[in-house]
Amino acid sequence: MWAFHTPQPTQPPSLFNPRRTPPKLPSSSLTLNPSISNSTPNHNQLIQSLCKQGDLKQAFKLLSREPNPSQRTYEVLILSCADQNSLSLAQSLHSHISENGFDQDPFLVTKLISMYAVLDSLDDARKVFDKTRKRTIFVWNALFRALTLAGFGEEVLGLYRKMNRIGLPSDRFTYTYVLKACVASECMVSLLNKGKEIHAHILRHGLEGYVHIMTTLVDMYARFGCVAHASFVFEKMPVRNVVSWSAMMACYAKNGKPFEALELFREMMIETRDSAPNSVTMVSVLQACAALSALEQGKLVHAYILRRGLDSVLPVISALITMYARCGELELGQRIFDRMEKRDVVSWNSLISSYGLHGYGKKAMQIFEEMIHQGVSPSPITFVSVLGACSHAGLVEEGKKLFDSMCKEHGIHPSVEHYACMVDLLGRANRLEEAAKIIDEMRIEPGAKVWGSLLGSCRIHCNVELAERASHRLFQLEPHSAGNYVLLADIYAEAEMWDDVKRVRKLLETRSLQKVAGRSWIEVRRKMYSFVSVDEPNPQIELIQSLLIKLAAEMKEKGYSPQTKVVLYDLDESEKERILLGHSEKLAVAFGLINTKKGETIRITKNLRLCEDCHSFTKFISKFTNKEILVRDVNRFHHFQNGVCSCGDYW
């Protein structure tokens, strides 16, 4: 347990703090250069003026002739070194400050630490801290902030424990930094527990009235996926601002609760008359629309963005591109991209991933090459996007070349995500032994994502041996993930290994794990409808069931054959067919047929991979009813038209 101390009201350790009174120096230090007479001109104002004009070199020349630099002069010089990204001048200035006896001034120490943080020289920042004899809370906060922004969360928490042991009280800004430190690196369970301890301390000292602390708490719980905890903190907040609302919306949008995100946005628009949503808010709302394929809702949000003048903010534009693509309107996303006056790597990544999602791997690669040609350096996410595009399009050799170019041409070392993409690329193409070899030769720990990609590929090609190897590791890495058990059971079922199916199902029961229910969403007349199973209440459920039975019977005469192998239970064929008709995407398709006009596209989102039977069924439906049907599953888009799917049955 940590020892905590009562906080005192203070100000944040920012580069823009009001100036503090300089420390009282020893009498021997009051006159920095006794040989200079009082008539010597004071250059402090001129040095500060040169810094503001951006003439840092000239300011340094003048500094060498100034015998009594003021604290304000040093502060402005520190800010200028950071602004001009000059580490060499920063280090020279630091030496000058030390020589003139200001290196123990707590105010300038905080500035130096912040300067070195901006210049990505954390070792220098640590040295400044270590050499400071009198460390005020501002000094501690400056280092906490620097280390947290650089991802050294555990180091911050260790220093925080040390600070508490020596009895220095925290202030309200300390809490924001240490809470952010809990999620600065990997979101481990041990760090979540530290966050909960800090939360308890905040409550004990009555700090729940500080909106920025509580908002940081919401964000911390959101990043750990603790949606209920985040929601509880948000609901108890006595005061909320636009940042608080945005944090909670982002929590919902990024943790699989897009419905709740949109509902919260509506609530915010009603409750907050004084503060309008900002660009961060709109990004979360667009992500929620994208998750649900809520095209009409997304268009309304787009219109609001235009009215508010937020259409020039790069993250908002990138989110718009993604939203339209994930709602099936790839051309609209491309049109927005084409109209952009300025593009960053995030914008390019959005477009690349959009084409990949729709199965246009070659087009995604062309965009990648165009981005390189225009001088935009790819990010690690760029390669995740383009490798994913290659995977969905079956472009194995192209994907392998891209993977090799990461380090050789772009200086990017592959991460777990990139290896997972490569395993998926090879696995989908039934090159499973090659995929397994990549895992064996990895220089970093494969992790759950890599083994999950292998298990998913084994499911597609029914490779029992490799599936057992992958699942064995996954059961160790993710003991509470029911999806891994279900995938293994699927593979055993397809291989007709029913005893093993029962064994895996027994494991699920004994470990109290529940399979994630298949859920599908459809938007009709700007309203979202959700389907889980035939047991879910719906005023049209009887009509939906009767339509599905009728369509299935008529399509059988035209060649449709139910893929009963996807049913895990050892039942007779008629019972398996009845279960198949209850799949959520079929219910959503039938609902769409009943409630959409002639020529209107049906748009459906599925939270899991589209099963083989639903895929076959929807192909027949699109031809049988002359309807265009768009289905986005957890992996990609399926564009059904006239009995054909855009994926080419490769998914």
User: Do 507 and 529 fall into the same domain?
Assistant: no
Cβ within 8 Å of residue 311, ≥6 positions away: 305, 317, 320
Model confidence at 19: pLDDT above 50: no
CB 499 within 8 A of CB 487: no
Q: What is the largest CA-CA distance in the chain?
A: 107
* Pairwise CA distance, residues 594 & 610, whole Å: 22
Order of strands across the sheet that contains 602-606: 527-531, 520-524, 602-606, 629-632, 637-641, 644-645
In a shared domain, residues 496 and 531: no
Tell me, yes or no, whether 508 and 531 share the same domain. no
Whether residue 551 is found in the same domain as residue 612: yes
Which has the closest alpha carbon to 156: 176, 178, 133? 178
Decide if 483 is inside a domain: yes
pLDDT at residue 187 in the model: 61
| φ/ψ of residue 92, rounded to 5 | -65, -45
* Whether 544 and 639 share a structural domain: yes
Lowest mean pLDDT among 210-224, 360-374, 558-572: 558-572
Q: What is the pLDDT of residues 325-352, one digit of tens each?
A: 999 999 999 999 999 999 999 999 999 9
Q: Is 101 exposed, middle or buried (0-12, 13-18, 19+ CB in 10 A)?
A: middle
Average pLDDT over residues 580-588: 93
User: Residue 539: pLDDT band by 50, 70, 90 thresholds?
Assistant: confident
Q: Give me the pLDDT at residue 622, please.
A: 94
Whether residue 89 has pLDDT greater than 80: yes
Task: Give the pLDDT band of residue 274 (cuts 50, 70, 90).
Answer: low
Q: Which of 107, 129, 151 is the last residue of a domain?
A: 129
pTM exceeds 0.85 for this model: no
For residue 263, the model assigns a pLDDT of: 93
pLDDT at 276: 83
- The region of weakest confidence among 66-70, 174-178, 318-322, 617-621 is 66-70
484 & 533 share domain? no
pLDDT for 67 equals 86
- The helix/strand count (H/E) of the chain reads as 33, 6
When pLDDT is averaged across residues 592-605 and rounded to a whole number, the result is 92
| The predicted structure's pLDDT at residue 306 | 95
Task: Sort 469 into a burial class: Cβ within 10 Å, 0-12 / 13-18 / 19+.
Answer: middle
User: Domain for residue 74, yes or no?
Assistant: yes
Q: Specify the range with the lowest mean pLDDT, choosing from 36-40, 143-147, 200-204, 404-408.
A: 36-40
Residue 587 one-letter amino acid = L
Query: C-alpha 244: how far from its chain's center?
Result: 18
pLDDT tens-place string over residues 451-500? 999 999 999 999 999 999 999 999 999 888 899 999 999 899 889 898 99
Q: Per the domain annotation, does 555 fall within a domain? A: yes
Q: Among candidates 588, 642, 634, which has minimal Cα distance to 611?
A: 634
Q: How confident is the model at residue 533 (pLDDT cuts 50, 70, 90)?
A: low
pLDDT for position 643: 92
Listed ranges 15-29, 42-56, 309-323; the one with the highest mean pLDDT: 309-323
Distance CA 215, CA 612 (A): 44
pLDDT, mean over the chain: 88
Positive/negative CA dihedral, 269, 272, 276, 280: negative
| Residue 620 included in any domain | yes
pLDDT(604) > 90 = yes
Lowest mean pLDDT among 55-69, 360-374, 464-478: 55-69
Structural domain contains residue 243: no
Q: What is the pLDDT of residue 528?
A: 87
Check residue 572 and give its pLDDT.
84
CATH code, domain with 467: 1.25.40.10
pLDDT digits (tens, 9 = 90+) for 132-143: 999 999 999 999
Least confident of 237-246, 308-317, 526-535, 602-611: 526-535
pLDDT at 27 over 90: no
528 and 579 housed in the same domain: yes
Flag whether 196 is in a domain: no
pLDDT at 186: 67
Residues 563, 474 within the same domain: no
CA-to-CA distance for 645 and 637, rounded, in angstroms?
A: 9
Q: Please compute the mean of the pLDDT values over residues 29-50 and round it to a whole number.
A: 61
Percent of the chain at pLDDT > 70 equals: 92
pLDDT digit string (tens) for 379-436?
999 999 999 999 999 999 999 999 999 999 999 999 999 999 999 999 999 999 999 9
Q: For residues 370 and 352, is the Cβ–Cβ distance under 8 A?
A: no
Q: Which helix (H) or strand (E) holds 493?
A: helix 482-494
Q: What is d(CA 505, CA 207) in angstroms, rounded to the nearest whole number?
A: 48
Query: Has residue 324 been placed in a domain?
Result: no
What pLDDT is attached to residue 271? 84
Q: 94: exposed, middle or buried (C-beta count within 10 Å: 0-12, 13-18, 19+)?
A: buried
Q: Are residues 504 and 423 located together in one domain of the fold?
A: yes
% residues pLDDT > 90 (the chain): 70
Q: Tokens 């250069």 map to which residue?
A: 33
pLDDT value of position 30: 33
From CA 640, how far away is CA 651, in angstroms rounded?
14
Do 554 and 528 fall into the same domain? yes
Q: What is the pLDDT of residue 473?
A: 95
The answer as to whether 200 is a domain residue is no
- 510 and 576 fall within a common domain: no
Domain that holds residue 77: 63-129
CB 315 within 8 A of CB 347: no
- Find the range with the poorest average confidence among 15-29, 128-142, 372-386: 15-29
Last residue of a domain, one of 482, 514, 546: 514
What radius of gyration do the chain's Cα atoms show?
30
Would you say 221 and 184 are in contact if contact means Cβ atoms under 8 Å apart? no
Average pLDDT for residues 67-85, to the nearest whole number? 93
Q: Are residues 503 and 542 in the same domain?
A: no
Q: What is the per-residue pLDDT for 602?
A: 94
Question: Stretch 227-248: mean pLDDT, rounded?
Answer: 94
The pLDDT assigned to 536 comes to 59
Our count of domains for the chain comes to: 3
Domain edge (last residue) among 514, 536, 557: 514
Question: Is residue 475 packed enough to be buried (19+ CB in 10 Å), middle (13-18) or exposed (0-12)?
Answer: middle
